[in-house]
Structures are given as C-alpha cells and as structure tokens.
Structure 1
Amino acid sequence: MKNKYSFIILGTGISSLSMAHWLSQKYPNDSILLADIHEKFYGASSKNAGFLTVGSFHFFNKMAQEKGLSTATELLQFCQTNHDLLFNAGFLDDSVEYKKDGSYTVTSSAPNMSQEFFKKIPAPIAIKGHEFCHHYALDGSCHPQKLLNKIFKSLSVDLVENAKISFDLKNLTINDQTLAYDKLFVTTNAWLNQILPTPLVSPQRAQILKTKPTRDFILKGNFYFSDHLIYLRQNKAGQIIVGGLRTLDAETEATDQLGTNTKIQNALLQFVKDRLSKNLELAEAWSGIMGFTENHLPCAGQYQESSTYFMGGFSGHGMGMAFHLAKRLVDSLENPNALPKLFTLS
C-alpha cells in the first residue's frame, strides 16, 4: 500500500468494482486503491441470485404510481443500459454463466397494464396458483461471484481486505496508515453509514437457497412472484435458486450481520415445492446484506462539496444499476450534469 493514490475506493462489491473499471477507463495512468473492512466480495453482490434485470413489473408499476410513468420509463431504460454496458465491456459471457432468457413477473390476477414495455404472455410453465405473466425479453442472469471476479481480474489496482478504516471527512487512515488521495469514493452500500456521518442507507439481510439439481422441468428466465416478493431462476446445473420473503420476519432481517433465518428459509423451500415440484431438495442456504434507501432508489454524488463521493442504497437492484451509475458518477467528475437527478440527494 502506497502513501498516496489518485483514487481510493472503499468497498469491493459490484459498486466498487464498477467505479474502479470506469475510473481506469477514463484515467488509465492514475493509481487506484480498493479497501474493504471485510474480505473482498463480502456483501450482497456475490451472494445474490444472479439476476441481470431491469427489475420486476411490480417494482416499475410502484415507481410509476409514486413518481410518474416518464420517471419509471427513464429508470427502466437506465437499467437496460446497465446490462448493455456490462455486455459491451466483455464481462458477460459463458465464463460467468451468462444467459439472456428474459424475465417474468408472475401474479395471481391481472394487474394494471399501464406501461407499454410489458405485455401479457402465457406462462412458460404450469405455475400452480398463478395465471398471469409479464415478460421482459432483454433480461439475463449470471453467476454473481464469477462476474465480480472477472471484473476484478481486469483491473490494475491495489487491494486491502479486512482493513481497519477511519475517516473524518478530512483524514483517511487504513490499518493505522494515513493516506493521501485526490478523490475518495465510498461505495460500501449497506455499510455506507459507517463511513459517512449522514444516514443514507439502512442494511437489510436477504435470504437465498439453492436446491439440488432437478430434471423434472427446465425453467428459462428469471421469475418474480409479486404476490409473495419471491424471485427464482434455474442455473445451468439444474438447481433452483430462490430468495425473498424478507418481510416475513422484517425486524430480524434489518441487520448487517450474515446468518440464515430458519423461518424464511423453510418458507422459501416450501414455496418451490408447492409451485414447482415436491421432489425438490435443499442443497445450500445463505444470506447477503443489501443497502436500502427510503425510496428504494440508489443515491450517488459528491459529499458536502468535498473530495469525497458516494454511491449506494441499491435496495436489491445493485446488479441491475451499479455498473451504469458508476459510469455516470465518474463522468460527473468533469460534467456534473452527467449524474441523473433521479439518484441525487438534492
């Protein structure tokens, strides 16, 4: 670890790696340090279900109701660009188990079809108790940890893991060494409030499980079950990866500590047994820590007119937004208008 860097990035999740990528692209001769209070890829980025999606119809319908259809459309286009940027950068291929099978929002009754970018289609499989699907054909999926590794290996950066970090908006100390820098980026997502004194993001734990492989059926695509706040997909090995139901025990899941929740895990397994196949068996269960904002949209920008910048609070949509938002934040260093107002605090 050197005494001075052009850019120091706190965190090693999808937000931080995306920042490092775009900074490296724009300023190839500048030095970059990645530092994390945990081991690299500790947060939700490496532990999610691997959805590379614009999000569920339920999410965009909620955004349309709260912020208007034009804002919801802008948000969908932003997420689609995120997917395209990742693909064009060469990060989405067979090495990360990338598939582009689209996504389906599944409901038990016909919702309000107010947005032109969704259309009702027949369900691709017989999903018990559900009758309606909305399809978005451009979505994909991947193995999240393999994606993070691929981005990380493309970078030329220094890395400090399990670091002791102290920051008072003027001085940054990592492992008792005071470092100089031109710009600091706090991209720790769920742990943003531990670095910056203004409360921006609250941690929320997500429960996920993976079944043993099955050949009883083949699911193509990502599935959101809006009635239950459950999401699932089937990987290349034939395993069902399912997560959600955080609201089933919301108080317990409002934490930044990893750990499985038996109540939620049992309910997730029962859900796929009831809806897909009673023969499904549990292979592995785990959790990840997300960062949520009040409006469920990420926030990014310059912190109090200092040389410090922040990005976080993706509220479960980091894989679908972070790569693009990082690009916009890097672009805003020279052009403040590059950062969409949708994601600023002002």
Structure 2
Amino acid sequence: MEKTNFVDQIRIFCRSGHGGAGSKHFMRTKFNAMAGPDGGNGGRGGHIILRGNKNLWTLLHLRYYKNVLAENGESGSGNNCSGRSGKDVIIEVPLGTVARDEETGETEAEILEDGQEIVWIKGGRGGLGNAEFATATNQAPEHAQPGEPGEEAWKVVELKVLADVGLVGFPNAGKSTLLSVMTAAKPKIADYAFTTINPQLGMVEYRNDRSFCIADLPGIIEGAAEGKGLGHRFLRHIERNPVLLFLIPADSSDHKKEFEILVNELEQYNPELLHKQFIIAISKSDMLDDELKEAIRKELPQTLPHIFISSVAQKGISELKDLLWKVLNEENNKI
C-alpha cells in the first residue's frame, strides 16, 4: 500500500496519573511532644489534555506515540506539606479531531478551535492528610486518605476534515482536477479509481480578498456505508462540511441514478447528512451541446441548484465559485 503522511485515525493506550496519598503525621516539638496532626494532602494525578493546533493537518505525529502515561501525584508529608501534582500530558491535535473510548464508542472530546483545551482524561484526586480530619472530639485522627487511581483505557483519536465545501462523487468524477483548477492544491491526478486515497484541502480565492475552504474527498462506491472501498474512512470526513458539491461526469450513463446512489450511501451512514446543502455540478461538460445539457437538466432534482462545468476547458468555474459563495453565506445566516 502506498505510504502516506496523512494519518486520520490512531489507537492509543491512555493512563492518567494516580493521586498521591495523604500523610498521617503528628507534629512533635521540643516543648510539645503531642502538638497535633499535621499530615499534608496528596497531589493530584496528571491529566491528559487535548489541545487544538491549526498548524496540524494530520495525526501522523501520534503514530508512534502509542502509550500516553501521565505522571502520578506525590504523597503528602508532615508539617502540612501537600504533595506536588503530577505533570499533565498535553496532546496537540488538528482541528476537527474527535476522541472516543474504544470499548464503548462514546465520543469524549471534540476539538474545533485553535488553542482549545479539553481535559480528556482526569487524573486521580490526591488523598487528604490526617490534619483534615481533626475535630474537637477527635484531635488525633489516625486516618489519612489514599489517593484515587487514575483512569486507563484504549482510546481512538479520529480526524474529521474541517472544510466549507466537500466534493462528493464516484472515483474518476474529476474532483481532483476541479480542486487543482479552483485552488493552489496539487492533488494526484490519474485515470484510475481511487487516485485520491486521502482528503486534499485547498483554499478558493474569491472576490475582494475573500476565500473559503474546499476538500477533495476519496471517491464513494456503492456499499461505502458498509465499509466497502474506502468506506467509513471517507464518510467520516464528510460530516464536517456544511455544503456538499456532488460531481457527476457528463459521460455518465445515468446521471439521476448516480446522484441517488451517492445520496443513499450518505443516508445509510448517517441520515443527518441529508440536512446539509447539496449542489450538483456536471463535470466534463465541454463535450455537451445545449440539447444534451437540457436533457441532463431534466434528469436532475429540480429543487437543487446545479451547474455545468469543465475543469480542463475552464468553463463554468467562476459561476461555480459564485454559487458556492452564495450557498455558504445562506448556511452561515441560518446558524
């Protein structure tokens, strides 16, 4: 398999720090051999913290970081000295990262902003020293708490690409070519299926120094929702895109059926994807005359915006940018 620097899923073992034990200690001075309890509290165990970093685009840096172990808290000591808290472990991740428990599948953290920090796995609390238990009726408590244990488990960290527009289509629909024309991105382009096996991002420059982000995602095939082809690896990235641009080649044997298959795969994976804004673009349309365009237009859903483009001939690209910008602003106004 082709080696890649793009890693979008990592399985790691995590253990937060154990809390330090509280101290059972009694003060003794030269003039008072029974000066009372002075055992200090134990320190907190180290947390495992996720921090968003806008300069990261992959989880590659975690590939060989399989065991994440936070430091234990120190035990308390006499003279009411508390133990030092364990050092936290901070894991920097790209924006769009989701962390979940491997066993339950439950989502535990989600990083969407640069600098955002979430305490993912809390360290154990330090135990109280015996000084904390002194009362008027029990002036010499013999009890101190042990520290609480940290948490340990296998976790899964996934990256779901953050982009304004996601390109959706079968392999060889022309998504990579369109991305290379609209942006400065340089995706691999060739005449065989699954040329794109990893998401490719590019910034589209629009009028008046405005811009938006578009993602070329690996192609869908029938059965992708069940994991066929690139399956779930593709579909999880599409959850982050508010607008989906369906790319259907002009030489498709059945444009309507191709669109329906694509939508069906999205619905099977996650029905909420159907609430996103859809746009249909007929690629390679430089081979079509007006009569053929009209025939294709009648096949497409009349409720969805559609446009005819040709990446190679540079036709309809400006109009596509205008349409995407208009729809993106409509989506932002809904929020």
Same fold (TM over 0.5): no
TM-score range, shorter chain: under 0.3
TM-score by length of 2: 0.22
Indicate the structure whose relative CO is greater, using CA pairs within 8 Å and at least 6 residues apart. Answer: 1
- TM-score, normalised via structure 1 length: 0.21
The structure with the larger Rg is 2
**Which is helix-richer, 1 or 2?**
1
